[in-house]
Amino acid sequence: MTQPVFLGMPTAPPGVGRLRAPRPFPEAARDALGDAQLRRNLAKATGTIRAKRAAVVEELPDWAELRAAGAAIKDQVLAGLDGYLVQLEEQVTARGGVVHWARDATEANRIVTDLVRAAGADEVVKVKSMATQEIGLNEALAEAGIAAWETDLAELIVQLGHDSPSHILVPAIHRNRAEIREIFLREMGAVGLPAPPDLTDEPRALAEAARLHLRRKFLEAGVAISGANFAVASTGTLAVVESEGNGRMCLTLPRVLITVMGIEKLVPAWRDLEVFLQLLPRSSTGERMNPYTSMWTGVHAGDGPQEFHLVLLDNGRTATLADPQGRSALRCIRCSACLNVCPVYERTGGHAYGSVYPGPIGAVLSPQMTGVSDNASLPYASTLCGACYDVCPVAIDIPQMLVHLRSRVVETKREAARAPTPEQAVMSSAAWVMESPARWTGALRAARLGRLLGGRRGKITSLPPPLSAWTGTRDAPLPPSQPFRDWWAKRERARRRSS
């Protein structure tokens, strides 16, 4: 039985941000598969993280119970989302923060741009955030003449390389150390402190170059932009997890902090973090705990940013929420465990998916956020092996959802067929021909030519496109050598002559 889908809900708009694949997955995947370096890097990365994750998950005696609780808490959030959002807004506001609402990427970009301008800044430092990549914030800020500096090491590599991220957790995994050294030497000087000329390709030296380059930016920046991993509705607390300390720098040093957060990132109560702060680091980096987690509630007098803005983003999330069989994709906490176990992702990498959300979760999230017709190939970018479901810390049944979305793709195509398809083009030209006796007669005579296509079996086995779609799987009957109308007219003429 199919449940009704609320089709009228606005999806993420096209033309802004990065949720839509510019070309179908199979085509992009073919290119990725030809890149041997990429495949080696991916195999090493996914294999290493898989093993680390398995070890630290094994260590916890109550992993299954935590996972079940994580799923249940997120379902509770989704079922009461309107109430929790209002509660969060009240709490953040009461503690000195300002809450903004954005229907979509365009509106969120405008809000953030206006806030940066109001702060009198022409550059900002950024913490790695999926939400701001999703809405194309850096591009929008650049258009407004505001420079946005990515401060996560991998994001810095991606940004300086004029490139795009290929993994949620390790976005520059498609680059090797030699490439990174080259990028740093070539690009750093143009945007700030140059890399030392004797820079080697040792990861330690490369990290040190990034540290020095970015430290100057941190100490000078007046505005920071972050995402959020969690927001506690009952207390207004926001949480960002990270490894390098760039997050802490951004969340602590600048005077103004702007956080862009998808509306699904809530948890109802403070104690709910006890579940997610165990699930997320073990699933994500395979660590017992990530090096740094920052939590703040509104504005803390004399400590950290003295102006705090929270932008709540829809951008296709309510469209996802509207499908009861697809909404649990919104449980996702962006750990990327499903990427690392996926046999398809391991071979193609993240770029092939086109969206900022790659891998199995991207294959169910992106098409729902954009509407399935805009990412129609993604639900097929899977072998349905089920590994993604097994590792998902919030138990999203991705394989089942992929099957459901495939049926939605087919359904949507059928509905879209009201616009002319080859089949319909044929049908409507047939109607035009049949409206006029002269046209009709002419067409029937022309059809006699079709006999030339027929073989000795008296059947047409292949027609030129678009009619080949029909003859690809079946034969067309041969048109008669003389149409009935011709036969009748000839017979009438003969009768008149004889009478």
Partner 1 sequence: MSAREEVLARVRAALAGGDPPPPVARSYRTAEDPPTLAGEELLELLVDRLVDYRALVRRSTTAMVAATVVAALTERGARRIAVADGILPEGLDRLEPGIELVGDRPPLTPAQLDGLDGVLTGCAVAIAETGTIVLDAGAGQGRRVLSLVPDYHLVVVTAAQVVATVPVALARLDPARPQTWISGPSATSDIELDRVEGVHGPRTLEVILCS
Q: Which of residues 96-125 bind partner 1 (CB under 8 A)?
A: 100-103, 107
For the bound state, the minimum distance from the C-beta of residue 82 to partner 1, rounded and expressed in Å, comes to: 4
Any contact of residue 224 with partner 1 (CB under 8 A)? no
Among 321, 339, 387, 395, indicate the residue that binds partner 1 (CB under 8 A): 321
Count Cβ neighbours within 10 Å for each residue of 249-281 and write b for 16 or more, e otherwise. Answer: bbbbbbebbbbbbbbbbbbbeeebbebbbbbbb
Nearer to partner 1, 279 or 387 (CB): 279
Nearer to partner 1, 97 or 479 (CB): 97
Among 19, 32, 38, 85, indicate the residue that binds partner 1 (CB under 8 A): 85
For the bound state, the minimum distance from the C-beta of residue 277 to partner 1, rounded and expressed in Å, comes to: 5
What tokens does 264 get?
């699904």
Any contact of residue 152 with partner 1 (CB under 8 A)? yes
Any contact of residue 218 with partner 1 (CB under 8 A)? yes
Any contact of residue 490 with partner 1 (CB under 8 A)? no
For the bound state, the minimum distance from the C-beta of residue 266 to partner 1, rounded and expressed in Å, comes to: 12
Q: C-alpha 339: how far from its chain's center?
A: 13
CA–CA distance, 188 with 396 (Å, rounded to integer): 41
CA–CA distance, 154 with 169 (Å, rounded to integer): 9
Residues of span 390-429 touching partner 1 by CB under 8 A? none
Count Cβ neighbours within 10 Å for each residue of 392-402 and write b for 16 or more, e otherwise. Answer: bbbbbbbbebb
All residues at 6 or more sequence positions from 499 whose CB lies less than 8 Å from its CB, including other chains: none
Question: Which of these segments, 57-65, 420-428, 459-467, 477-485, binds partner 1 (CB under 8 A)?
Answer: 57-65
Any contact of residue 203 with partner 1 (CB under 8 A)? yes
CA–CA distance, 44 with 111 (Å, rounded to integer): 40
DSSP 478: P
For the bound state, the minimum distance from the C-beta of residue 28 to partner 1, rounded and expressed in Å, comes to: 24
Nearer to partner 1, 172 or 378 (CB): 172
What tokens does 482 get?
């003389």
Q: Let me know if 388 is exposed, middle or buried by CB neighbors in 10 A (0-12, 13-18, 19+).
A: buried
Any contact of residue 453 with partner 1 (CB under 8 A)? no
Nearer to partner 1, 101 or 380 (CB): 101
Residues of span 120-149 touching partner 1 by CB under 8 A? none
For the bound state, the minimum distance from the C-beta of residue 470 to partner 1, rounded and expressed in Å, comes to: 41
What mask, x for binding partner 1 by CB under 8 A, covers residues 10 to 29?
x-------------------
Any contact of residue 252 with partner 1 (CB under 8 A)? yes
What mask, x for binding partner 1 by CB under 8 A, covers residues 285 to 304?
x-xxxxxxxxxxx--x-xxx
For the bound state, the minimum distance from the C-beta of residue 355 to partner 1, rounded and expressed in Å, comes to: 21
Among 27, 139, 274, 415, indicate the residue that binds partner 1 (CB under 8 A): 274
CA distances from 385 to 47, 224, 338 (A): 17, 41, 12
Place of tokens 């890097």: 41
Nearest to residue 118, comparing CAs of 321, 293, 307, 279?
Answer: 307
Any contact of residue 491 with partner 1 (CB under 8 A)? no
DSSP per position, 353-416? G-SSS-HHHHHHHHHHHH-GGGGTTGGGS----SHHHHH-TT---HHHHHHHHHHHHHHHHHHH
Nearer to partner 1, 177 or 490 (CB): 177
Nearer to partner 1, 246 or 370 (CB): 246
DSSP per position, 163-218? ----SSSSTTTT--HHHHHHHHHHHHHHHSSPPPTT--S-HHHHHHHHHHHHHHHH
For the bound state, the minimum distance from the C-beta of residue 406 to partner 1, rounded and expressed in Å, comes to: 22
Question: Which of these segments, 243-251, 382-390, 452-460, 474-482, binds partner 1 (CB under 8 A)?
Answer: 243-251
Give yes or no for a contact between 57 and 63, defined as CB atoms under 8 angstroms apart. yes
For the bound state, the minimum distance from the C-beta of residue 455 to partner 1, rounded and expressed in Å, comes to: 57
Q: Partners of 230 in the beta sheet?
A: 239
Any contact of residue 480 with partner 1 (CB under 8 A)? no
